[in-house]
Amino acid sequence: MVRILGIETSCDETAVGIVDDGRLVRASALASSQQFHAPYGGVVPEIAARVHVEVIWQVLEQALTEAGCSLADVDAVAVTQGPGLPGALVIGVSFAKALALSLDRPLIGVDHLAAHLYTGAMMEEPLEPPCIGLVVSGGHTLLCVAHPDQRFEVLGDTNDDAAGEAFDKVAKLLGLGYPGGPVIDRLSEEGNPAAIPFPRGGAKDGYEFSFSGLKTAVYHAVQKQGGELSRQQIADIAASFQEAVVEILVTKTLRACQRTGLKQIVVGGGVAANRRLRQRLTQDGAARGLRVVCPPVELCVDNGAMVAGLGFALLRKGRVSPLSLSPDPNLHLVEAG
């Protein structure tokens, strides 16, 4: 049995996971600095970095308690090398290096996006590449082909806002607070998704995403109502907006399957927690004979278990990192050759 400790500090979550054999999650501890960012309506990098330093040791202790083990039982230390906020990444990477050095265990730097996609391999029935991967979070909107051996072919990215960022900005426009995704998800249940036909221009041909036009359309819809909006009006706008985003994401993901001939999809990132997105992808995918893996929400949001999981796969291939490992805020998925 190989036990990996995974550390994640790329954004506002300080997370430590402990995973056995790349699949069995023994612990997944998390502290979020979300409440400190809420007044600003988005993540403040300086605050995120400072909170990581303050809480990382406690989060590690929590993970060890959850797993019922000690640091001596850990076989390797994996850490998110990038992409992410530079100051935030430095904390996790430095901490991981210190641990690896003091425990005399291998250090494994991992790509955060690849870690999100690796969660498919952590399911009861592991997803074997090749498959289509969709990562949708506050910082990323990425559609790719995931090949075996952690090699990827990026099909499309966002030209402006990330999907989660669009949720957060629209929630702000509607006076719903931060982070916006979970609130819009909940409130949409009370609204009519067909109330406002928001543009789905972003769903046009190709794989690139764009959410700024949709965001502007929401702004105009709010202005048009004029004055204070009722709860029902807000719920209708939220549901209609969510429906448009989901439609864009689902259309492009299914298109990728159709064009590549691949029959499997895995989703990751905070927006993959969205109930409507999970429902539509699962239903529409099943209707086309596709296997759609929407990992449990705890594995979709930023977490340490996915880092540990991918760390195991890389360790098996001998892909360990030197103690001189540096954070790489612009790290890209390894291109398939």
Residue numbers 274-333 binding Zn ion by CB under 5 A:
302
Tally: H helices and E strands in the chain: 11, 10
Q: Which of 4, 5, 7, 11 is in the footprint of ligand KG4 by CB under 6 A?
A: 11
CB of 325 to ligand KG4, least distance (A): 21
Residue 274 partner contact from ligand KG4, Zn ion, none using kind-dependent CB cut-offs of 5 to 8 Å: ligand KG4
Residue numbers 179-208 binding ligand KG4 by CB under 6 A:
179-182, 185
Burial of 71 by CB count in 10 Å (0-12 exposed, 13-18 middle, 19+ buried)?
Answer: middle
- Residue 255, φ and ψ in degrees, nearest 5: -60, -40
CB 25 within 8 A of CB 307: no
Tokens at residue 272, please?
A: 């993959």
111 binds Zn ion (CB under 5 A): no
137 binds Zn ion (CB under 5 A): yes
Q: Which is nearer to Zn ion, 243 or 302 (CB)?
A: 302
150 binds Zn ion (CB under 5 A): no
168 binds ligand KG4 (CB under 6 A): yes
Residue numbers 259-278 binding ligand KG4 by CB under 6 A:
269-271, 273-274
CB 83 within 8 A of CB 112: yes
Tokens at residue 288, please?
A: 């086309």
Q: Which is nearer to ligand KG4, 169 or 255 (CB)?
A: 169
Per-residue string for binding with ligand KG4, 294-333, x by CB under 6 A? Answer: -------xx-------------------------------
CB 19 within 8 A of CB 298: no
Which residue from 3, 4, 11, 2 is spatially nearest to 92, judged by alpha carbons?
11
Per-residue string for binding with ligand KG4, 138-167, x by CB under 6 A? Answer: xx------------------------xx-x
Which residue from 54, 55, 99, 97 is spatially nearest to 73, judged by alpha carbons?
99
Return d(Cα 103, Cα 316) in angstroms, integer: 19
Residues in contact with Zn ion by CB under 5 A are: 137, 302
Residues in contact with ligand KG4 by CB under 6 A are: 11, 137-139, 164-165, 167-168, 179-182, 185, 269-271, 273-274, 301-302
